[in-house]
Amino acid sequence: MIFLNPPRERNARRKKKRPPPPENDEGLCMGILQTSLNMGFIVLVFVIGSTKGEWLIDIVKYVQSTDNATTIGFSIDEFLPSMQWPEFRRVESLPKSLLYSALLSVIFYNVLIGIWFWIFNCGKQRKGFGDIEEDSTMFYDAVFSSFNVALLSAVSALIAWFTYSKGYSRLYTDVSDRGWLYFAVSVPALFLYHEIITYYRHRTLHSPALYKNVHFWRHWPKQTTWSLMVMHPVESVLILLQSLLPIFIIPTHIAVYFLLTMYTVHNDLVFHSSEKPFQQNHKKYKDVNFGASSVLLDWACGTLLFDAYNTYYSEPNYHNKEE
């Protein structure tokens, strides 16, 4: 069932209690800096390659309009000829836009992740509550993450091209178009939208069939620097569509959309890559703590379980799979 019962007593396992992390000023400062860089590279990745892709179209059109076309441009044209259907003629460089978007996103993603790994040495594989931890390595995490980044950026570029070509979007840039009251109300409204959709999407993915075939990928990796984007392609596209949907259904100021979407997408992606008790209890029991940005929906729906440092390293838990 999608809506699971409250957590029950599990069979006794060999457990080793995880000691609380040391709390000192140096650790706090490093944590703040690491979180800032974490947020920074997520924003850059989604801005450059995923969330909006119109700038890629503008760059390609500018290059095509110049007399000195590059050799690279001609070689790409040979392998990716322009679309000839009437509905595609407004932006004839769509294949190249998709290719550029995917390549640039993967490059920026891996460069920024590599810098983060080099500075903080966060790529050490730490035993957590992944279901098949021994099969997760940094190399495979990097491959899966890069594939998902390329996929998301290509899908985003396609949606951005459609928006650019058809001229349909509910985003607006002038606050006076809707007024300051609407602007202020749209902030909690958009946050609540993301909170509700994220909670029920995540909870639905923990139904036995979807967990086994889709969401299990998200519980697969150990915590490495590259495990952030390790997930089933279907789930990655669902997260992307959730973030892009307000563009087409809700009049939203571009600043509100940008900031809140970056915040919620960031929280959703790092949810399964954190050592905090809230996330670790989710990994351990599988049927609690589905929220990512806050505990609001978990508290309202009775799925909240928060025991400070009451998490244990144990054997894999297959609660969402048939015994």
Q: Give the whole-number percent of the chain exceeding pLDDT 90.
A: 9
Q: By residue range, what is the domain housing residue 192?
A: 26-313
pLDDT in tens, 232-286: 999 988 988 888 888 888 898 888 888 887 777 667 666 655 566 777 778 778 8
Distance between CA 75 and CA 131 in Å, rounded?
A: 45
Q: Which position has the higher pLDDT, 272 or 1? A: 272
Which of 40-44, 101-105, 299-303 has the least mean pLDDT?
Answer: 40-44
- For helices 180-205 and 233-244, the axis angle rounded to 10 degrees is 160
Residue 6 domain-assigned (yes or no): no
312-313 and 171-172: which strand pairing?
A: unpaired
Distance between CA 218 and CA 320 in Å, rounded?
A: 13
Q: Which 3 state secondary structure label does DSSP give 72?
A: helix
Q: Which position has the higher pLDDT, 252 or 100? A: 252
* Residue whose entry in the numeric block shows the structure tokens 């179209």: 57
Q: Which position has the higher pLDDT, 68 or 174? A: 174
Distance between CA 274 and CA 310 in Å, rounded?
A: 15
- Whether the model clears a pTM of 0.75, i.e. scores above it, the answer is no
Q: Are the CB atoms for 159 and 215 separated by under 8 Å?
A: no
Indicate if the pLDDT at residue 69 is higher than 50. no
Domain count, the chain: 1
Distance between CA 244 and CA 173 in Å, rounded?
A: 17
Residue 42 domain-assigned (yes or no): yes
* Residue whose entry in the numeric block shows the structure tokens 């979407």: 261
At 215, list the tokens. 């969401």
As a whole number of Å, the end-to-end CA separation of the chain is 15
DSSP state, residue 87: G
Torsion-angle region of residue 236: left (phi > 0), alpha (psi -120 to 50) or beta?
A: alpha
Q: Give the whole-number percent of the chain exceeding pLDDT 70.
A: 54
Residue 196 domain-assigned (yes or no): yes
Residue 120 domain-assigned (yes or no): yes
Residue 318 domain-assigned (yes or no): no
Mean pLDDT of the chain: 68
Residue 151 domain-assigned (yes or no): yes
**Res 271: pLDDT:** 63
Residue 62 domain-assigned (yes or no): yes
Residue 56 domain-assigned (yes or no): yes
Taking Cα atoms as reference points, which of 279, 253, 249 lies closest to residue 267? 279
Which of 94-98, 292-296, 319-323 has the least mean pLDDT?
Answer: 319-323
